[in-house]
């Protein structure tokens, strides 16, 4: 892991006060984080948490991550905390890592989806850290927040994305600029036995192994029937993070021919690829977005690129398949689910 660019957003104290007052009154506030924007409510208020599910259109049995001001707050939310959790929190918080731990009895079912575990994370964004510190108020209070998108859709990586999709359903959107990482946090389950990665992200299995001495199991690619029937992680559903336009991944060497065939068939095609080959420079019916060759920059821009291509009124989005090497794991995970969620057959 290299260090993701830190947000330089400035903190407006009056706006933080306003956000805290709204949250204490049970309202929804959209918050910037280093991964994606979240849709936050008081994690101890069942009615407020119910509003999150209504706004997203998300099934009520899907658990939410509780965002905390610091690692000192985890004992209010989790019990039987293994040493590995403390080590990972010390190494990566604030940062793009969510820990799944056994929940304290008082944690409400609306947050945990009725499970005996709770997801916890301290996000690394100056605006949201300021908000969490004030909201915590010495009581380790936390904010339940899923990504601030409609259920199954692309996560938002700037305030404008939230405004477009959920603007009429939130009381306030805190604009903290574009998200530094751009894809959702790595989720590590420490609630039973050996650590397991439930969702890959910016913090890799190697980063975790460096802290724990052992490589965690990777459960994130389990998209089989059993996993789909019991969605502990909604991001683990085969179909997720999806554009409305059908999306297909194509190997680099087959991309030009695939684009040509679609254009000849009269289709409008949007493409996300590392280079723009010469024959396609000015072709009608074609929208081409160049993507980075570097996995972290690619991830940073991925959701904004997909939103842009989705809005280009094309029949199809073709994505040049990135390499299958470990540093591309999280990007490939999101692309695979986007392809599946868009309904296109690959």
Which of residues 186 and 289 has its CB atom nearest to ligand TXA in the complex?
186
For ligand TXA, which stretch binds (CB under 6 A), given 34-42, 43-51, 219-227, 287-295?
A: 34-42
Beta bridge partners of 248: 318
Contacts of 146 (CB under 8 A, 6+ apart): 38, 39, 52, 56, 58, 62, 64, 65
In whole angstroms, give the CA distance from residue 38 to residue 23: 13
Residues making up the chain, counted from first to last: 346
**What is the pattern of x (binds ligand TXA, CB under 6 A) and - over residues 207-246?**
-------------------------xxxx-----------
In whole angstroms, give the CA distance from residue 224 to residue 1: 29
Phi, psi of 181 (to 5 degrees): -90, -50
Q: Minimum distance from CB of 223 to Mg ion (Å)?
A: 16
Which of residues 63 and 200 has its CB atom nearest to ligand TXA in the complex?
63
**What is the pattern of x (binds ligand TXA, CB under 6 A) and - over residues 194-213?**
----x---------------
For ligand TXA, which stretch binds (CB under 6 A), given 115-123, 158-166, 221-229, 288-296?
A: 115-123
Which of residues 63 and 322 has its CB atom nearest to ligand TXA in the complex?
63
Residue 33 interacts, among Mg ion, ligand TXA, none and using kind-specific CB cut-offs from 5 to 8 Å, with ligand TXA
Which of residues 35 and 45 has its CB atom nearest to ligand TXA in the complex?
35
In whole angstroms, give the CA distance from residue 34 to residue 125: 6
In whole angstroms, give the CA distance from residue 218 to residue 251: 25
For Mg ion, which stretch binds (CB under 5 A), given 119-127, 146-154, 297-305, 330-338?
A: 146-154
Residue 63 interacts, among Mg ion, ligand TXA, none and using kind-specific CB cut-offs from 5 to 8 Å, with ligand TXA
Task: Give the alpha-carbon dihedral of 279, 284, 287, 292, to 10 degrees.
Answer: 20
- Determine how many CB atoms are found less than 10 A away from the CB of residue 91: 15
Residue 94 interacts, among ligand TXA, Mg ion, none and using kind-specific CB cut-offs from 5 to 8 Å, with none
Q: Minimum distance from CB of 52 to Mg ion (Å)?
A: 11
Contacts 24+ apart (CB under 8 A), 301-304: 301/182, 302/182, 302/183, 302/331, 302/334, 302/335, 303/36, 303/154, 303/155, 303/156, 303/157, 303/161, 303/182, 303/183, 303/241, 304/157, 304/158, 304/161, 304/178, 304/182
Q: Which of 147, 185, 191, 289 binds Mg ion (CB under 5 A)?
A: 147
Q: Minimum distance from CB of 155 to Mg ion (Å)?
A: 6
In whole angstroms, give the CA distance from residue 346 to residue 344: 6
Q: Does 184 bind ligand TXA (CB under 6 A)?
A: yes
In whole angstroms, give the CA distance from residue 20 to residue 61: 27
Q: Does 98 bind ligand TXA (CB under 6 A)?
A: yes
For ligand TXA, which stretch binds (CB under 6 A), given 35-43, 74-82, 159-167, 285-293?
A: 35-43
Q: Does 187 bind ligand TXA (CB under 6 A)?
A: yes
DSSP letter string, 95-138 = SSEEEEEEEPTTS-HHHHTT-SEEEEE----HHHHHHHHHHHTT
Q: Minimum distance from CB of 262 to ligand TXA (Å)?
A: 32
Q: Which of 33, 220, 245, 336 binds ligand TXA (CB under 6 A)?
A: 33
**Could you give the 3-state DSSP secondary structure of residue 273?**
strand
Binding interface with ligand TXA (CB under 6 A)? 33, 35-36, 38, 62-65, 98, 100, 112, 115, 117-119, 121, 123, 145-147, 184-185, 187, 198, 232-235
Binding interface with Mg ion (CB under 5 A)? 147
């Amino acid at each position: 892991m290299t260090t993701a660019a830190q947000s330089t957003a400035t903190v407006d104290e009056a706006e933080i006060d306003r956000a805290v007052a709204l949250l204490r009154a049970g309202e929804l506030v959209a918050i910037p984080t280093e991964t994606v924007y979240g849709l936050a409510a008081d994690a101890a208020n069942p009615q407020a948490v119910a509003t999150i599910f209504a706004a997203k259109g998300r099934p009520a049995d899907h658990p939410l991550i509780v965002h905390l001001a610091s690692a000192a707050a985890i004992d209010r939310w989790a019990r039987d905390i293994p040493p590995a959790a403390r080590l990972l929190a010390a190494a990566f918080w604030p940062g793009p890592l969510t820990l799944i731990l056994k929940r304290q009895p008082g944690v409400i079912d609306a947050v945990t989806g009725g499970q005996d575990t709770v997801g916890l994370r301290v996000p690394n964004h100056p605006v949201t850290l300021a908000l969490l510190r004030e909201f915590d108020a010495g009581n380790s209070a936390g904010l339940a927040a899923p990504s601030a998108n409609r259920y199954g859709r692309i996560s938002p990586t700037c305030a404008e994305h939230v405004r477009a999709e959920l603007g009429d359903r939130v009381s306030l959107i805190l604009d903290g600029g574009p998200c530094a990482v751009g894809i959702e946090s790595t989720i590590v389950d420490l609630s039973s036995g050996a650590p397991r990665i439930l969702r890959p992200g910016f913090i890799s299995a190697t980063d975790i192994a460096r802290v724990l001495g052992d490589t965690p199991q990777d459960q994130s690619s389990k998209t089989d029937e059993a996993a789909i029937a019991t969605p502990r992680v909604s991001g683990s559903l085969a179909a997720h993070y999806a554009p409305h336009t059908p999306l297909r991944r194509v190997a680099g060497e087959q991309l030009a021919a695939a684009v040509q065939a679609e254009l000849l068939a009269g289709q409008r095609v949007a493409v996300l690829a590392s280079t723009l080959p010469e024959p396609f420079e000015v072709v009608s019916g074609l929208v081409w977005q160049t993507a980075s060759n570097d996995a972290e920059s690619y991830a940073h821009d991925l959701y904004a690129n997909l939103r842009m291509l989705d809005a280009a009124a094309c029949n199809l989005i073709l994505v040049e398949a990135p390499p299958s090497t470990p540093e591309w794991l999280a990007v490939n995970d999101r692309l695979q689910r986007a392809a599946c969620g868009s309904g296109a057959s690959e």
